[in-house]
Amino acid sequence: MTPPDAAAFIRAHLPVLPVPGLPEIHLHKAVPASGVGRLAGDEAPYWAHYWAGGLALARYVLDHPERVAGRRVLDLGAGSGLVAIAAMKAGARDAIAIDADPHALAALALNAAANAVSLDIRAGDAASLVLPDVDMILIGDLFYSDDLAEAVTAFLDRCLDRGIEALVGDPWRRPLPLARLREVARYDVAETGMAPKPSGVFRFHRNVA
């Protein structure tokens, strides 16, 4: 069976809805009738849902636009593009949105258009990414496995060596490298299908005293 065209499927089956707690942003969102498994197959369609770390990080960026205003940012593991879109709405000069999933790349383009922002959308992952020419890295919900946490931490260490700042959003998942993070904000947010729960926004450091 020929797989469906990702952009056409997303437009037809995932309605554009306001993001809970972030009414400034609207995203194509999977609903029970979407049948998103027909597109994603065996891959989890994480880009079609809300996740706590991204919700908190996007809210923080919108609440503190001075953190990104006039700066070039990179949203690593961008998924739906929520954080990159928030950065552009908060006044970022440019936002690079990177994800390894081709379906996420299609969703990124559609979500950027739905929010009238421009994103530099690229395929890639933390393990193979060349150091970007940016001022800040934004990462929501990437510390969900030990191997990925190790790869992301190594990438952020290389960024620190270049003087690139990093902010992380995460609901305290087990692989989160807490010794390398300083909490700067906390929000109660609701992942898709879940009750609200706390999620933190952290600044990444080489060492935390």
pLDDT tens by residue, 95-117: 999 999 999 999 999 999 999 99
In a domain, 77, yes or no: yes
Q: Which residues pair with 186 in a beta bridge?
A: 200
Average pLDDT over residues 70-75: 98
Give the pLDDT score at 1.
Answer: 40
Average pLDDT over residues 3-32: 94
In a domain, 123, yes or no: yes
Give the total number of structural domains in the chain.
1
Confidence bin at 154 (pLDDT 50/70/90): very high
In a domain, 1, yes or no: no
Strands (E), 145-195: 165-170, 181-189
Among residues 209, 40, 54, 20, the alpha carbon closest in space to that of 144 is found at 54
Distance between start and end Cα atoms, the chain:
56
Torsion of CA 51, 145, 169, 41, to 10 degrees: -30
* CATH number for the domain that contains residue 56: 3.40.50.150
In a domain, 157, yes or no: yes
In a domain, 12, yes or no: no
